[in-house]
Structure 1
Amino acid sequence: MHCYDVLGLTIQAGLPVPGLEALSSPFCENQVQVDEGNVPASLEQAEKVRPLYEVSGDQVLVEVPGIGRLLITEGKRIVFERAPTGPDAPIFAHLLGTGLATIHHQRGNVVLHGGSLCRAGHAYLICGRSGAGKSTTLAHLLANGGETLGDDVTVVGDAPEFMIPAGPRVTKLADDVLVGLPDFQTMKTEMRCSKGKRVLPTEHLFAATPYPLSGVIVLEQRGVTQVSLERVPVSEAIALLWAHSFRKRFIARAKLPGLLIKWTALAHAVPVWRIARPAAHDTVAEVVAKAEDAIAKIADERRRRGSVG
């Protein structure tokens, strides 16, 4: 049996999981059991049925075409079945991303679609929809200084600390993005994801411990002519946290009231900023500058609150 610690969970697996460092102790707490086996083609009495996934209470069935299927159950177990001719590496990537995010959903935890930047003992999330530029922005911010606790999938702990545990130690970047990131160009490509991006190891950039969340920056592509930065009011921030939850379509209806309470607490305690950028041309430098501006404003607000307290 193999044990691993990732995204605040301890995985107990009957086979090695690539990309994770095994724990020395065979005894796992807060564990998730991962097994390879037969996965059903459908779920009974599903509340959501879509072409590539089904949700039935505390069960989620996911199909990844050409890769395999995952069955995630009760926040405790993942069973995966590889496609007959599918490659091995991608099924584990989906297990560590979609699979573990769904485990957290089933446990009623907040999971956001974004990566973390850690500076001076605090974490900042860069969130956005696929293609918004969050991984690119995070890579440039890391090049300016700092560490990370993961890219793409971020679990947020409960109030009052809102601690961020470490995720898989990789990032995904497109070839054209690497041109402006010489440090990332030298990293060995582990594989390519389904969208053609390079999957790159980031162990050397990882923070040694979890950090409390201090702010959220949401990237959006809009019909604007220039990059803008604005503080989002709490009422809208709650909606943004829901909108940028990772794999939110896999959340069962019964879990939504509890998650709404957590999104609301997070929106009241942690500032949310939005960067809007035009989609028609390259604005990476401007977006990174606005992100640095937002981080500085969040840090200044935190210091002022501390001095008042």
Structure 2
Amino acid sequence: MRHYHFSGLTVASALDLSELASVPAPPGGADASVLLGEVPDIPDSDPAQSYVQFTDAGLLLTVPDVARFLVSGGRTITVQPIGRADPAAVRLYLLGSAFGALYHQRGLLPLHAGSVEIDGMAIGFVGESGAGKTTMSAWMAARGYRLVSDDVCVTRPRPGRPPLAFPAYPRAKLCLDALAALGPAFGEEAVAAAELLPEMDKADLRVPLSAARDGLPLVAIYALEVAPDGTAPRLEPVPPAEALRVLLANTYRGHFVRGAAEQARRFAVCGEAARHVAVRRLVRPKSFDLLPAVAELVERDVARLGATATVDA
């Protein structure tokens, strides 16, 4: 078993997880384990579609031609690759959807967000597909801030304080046009080393990761809205009731939460976060030329949060 650090957890894994940072085996044992083994088929499932089923053993996830996953008790993920599946594809779904289920089982709040560290705090970008979550977090990283997450920002609730956000791994999956626009800021060597992902029409760019393994207070969420070209970028405050809706809508794999008790817990966790995280609407045109102006808006806003946003992690 190899050991890794991932989004606030120490993970013991029978699979080689090359995206993650290796760590020594902890004396008290790992927080979670990834095992190779047999995972039952989901009855009557369409072999061409991904399926999720809740059983007494845990959550079953089937990804056609890739793998079956069984996520149990917030501690164990059993993986059964299908046929001669591409190991990179198995890791993609393991580190995404399968761990998303495990986070929910542990009572954590995974947000579908790109996020970065600024002055010892975390800020996140959320929005619909194509709104620019990864573009914004990568651009902020190009300005010298450390990446916290590219796609899934795992947070741990703290009553009366902002939740803690935990670094994931030092990769950003950028659309090719975004890579072309942002690449010069990272340098020719980094762009040349980016791994092309033809099935996603993206490239996997290595980006410096936050070293704050114990977590960072998540102080702001920026809900991205794409505006027509010619629109000036702007920030708009989001009232608390709408802030709650933003967090609920951008919970990663929210449909993995099952049952009235679990749904109530998720609602309470999002409600607590909405009281302590500043939520803004960030309206921006898609033009890459305006990214510096958008970043400056965010930087000024975080600076205005000032001492009220800086809390002991």
TM-score bracket, normalised by the shorter chain, equals 0.7 to 0.9
Task: Provide the rounded CA distance (Å) in 2 between the counterparts of 1:304 and 1:10.
Answer: 31
Say whether 1:233 aligns with 2:239: yes
Q: Deviations over 1:79-136 (max 9, x none)?
A: 1121213211121122112222211111121110112111211111112232221111
Q: Report percent identity of matched pairs.
A: 28
Code of the residue aligned with 2:176 in structure 1: it is D
Cα separation, 2, equivalents of 1:176 and 1:222: 18
The letter of the residue matching 1:220 is E
Once structures 1 and 2 are overlaid, which stretch shifts more, 129-138 or 221-230?
A: 221-230
Structure 1 counterpart SS, 2:303? helix
Structure 1 equivalent of residue 54 of structure 2: 56
Distance 1:98 1:113, change over 3 A: same
What is the identity, as a one-letter code, of the residue corresponding to 2:225? E
Where does structure 1 differ by over 4 angstroms across 4 or more consecutive aligned residues? 222-225
Q: Distance in 2 between matches of 1:245 and 1:212?
A: 18
**Would the alpha carbon gap of residues 239 and 184 (structure 1) be closer, same or farther in structure 2, given more than 3 Å must change?**
farther
Q: Match for 2:211: what amino acid?
A: A
Please report how far the alpha carbon of residue 26 of structure 1 lies from its aligned counterpart in structure 2 after TM superposition.
5.4
Aligned to 2:296: 292
Task: Map 1:225-264 onto structure 2 (within 5 A).
Answer: 226=231, 227-253=233-259, 254-264=261-271
TM-score, length-normalised on structure 2? 0.85
**Residues 57, 252 of structure 1: 8 Å contact kept:** no
For structure 1, which segment, 295-304 or 141-150, has the greater mean C-alpha deviation from structure 2 after superposition? 295-304
Give the 3 Å change call, closer, same or farther, for CA 184–257 of structure 1 in structure 2.
farther
Distance in 1 (CA, whole Å) between partners of 2:16 and 2:189 is 27
Contact between 1:178 and 1:184, CA under 8 Å: does it hold in 2?
Answer: no
Distance in structure 2 (CA, Å) of the matches to 1:155 and 1:12? 18
Do the aligned residues in 2 keep the contact of 1:111 with 1:155 (CA within 8 Å)? yes
Tell me how far apart the structure 1 counterparts of residues 251 and 290 of structure 2 sit (CA, whole Å): 25
Q: Equivalent residue of 2:282, what SS?
A: strand
Q: Give the match's secondary structure for 2:22.
A: coil
Question: Do the aligned residues in 1 keep the contact of 2:169 with 2:209 (CA within 8 Å)?
Answer: no
Cα distance in 2 for partners of 1:185, 1:249 equals 40
Task: List alignment gaps of at least 5 residues for structure 1.
Answer: 45-49
Superposed CA RMSD in Å reads 2.6
Shift of 1:30: 5.3
After superposition, where does 1:1-309 map in structure 2 within 5 Å? 1-25=1-25, 27=27, 29=29, 31-42=31-42, 51-56=49-54, 59-159=58-158, 160-181=161-182, 182=184, 183=186, 185-187=188-190, 188-192=193-197, 194-202=199-207, 205-209=208-212, 210-221=215-226, 226=231, 227-253=233-259, 254-277=261-284, 282-286=286-290, 289-303=293-307
The alignment of Structure 1 onto Structure 2 pairs a total of residues equal to 297
CA contact (8 A) 1:43 1:54 kept: no
Cα contact 1:123–1:213 (8 A) shared by 2: yes
Q: Distance in 2 between matches of 1:232 and 1:218?
A: 9
User: What's the TM-score, normalizing by structure 1?
Assistant: 0.86
Which letter does structure 1 place at the counterpart of 2:219?
S
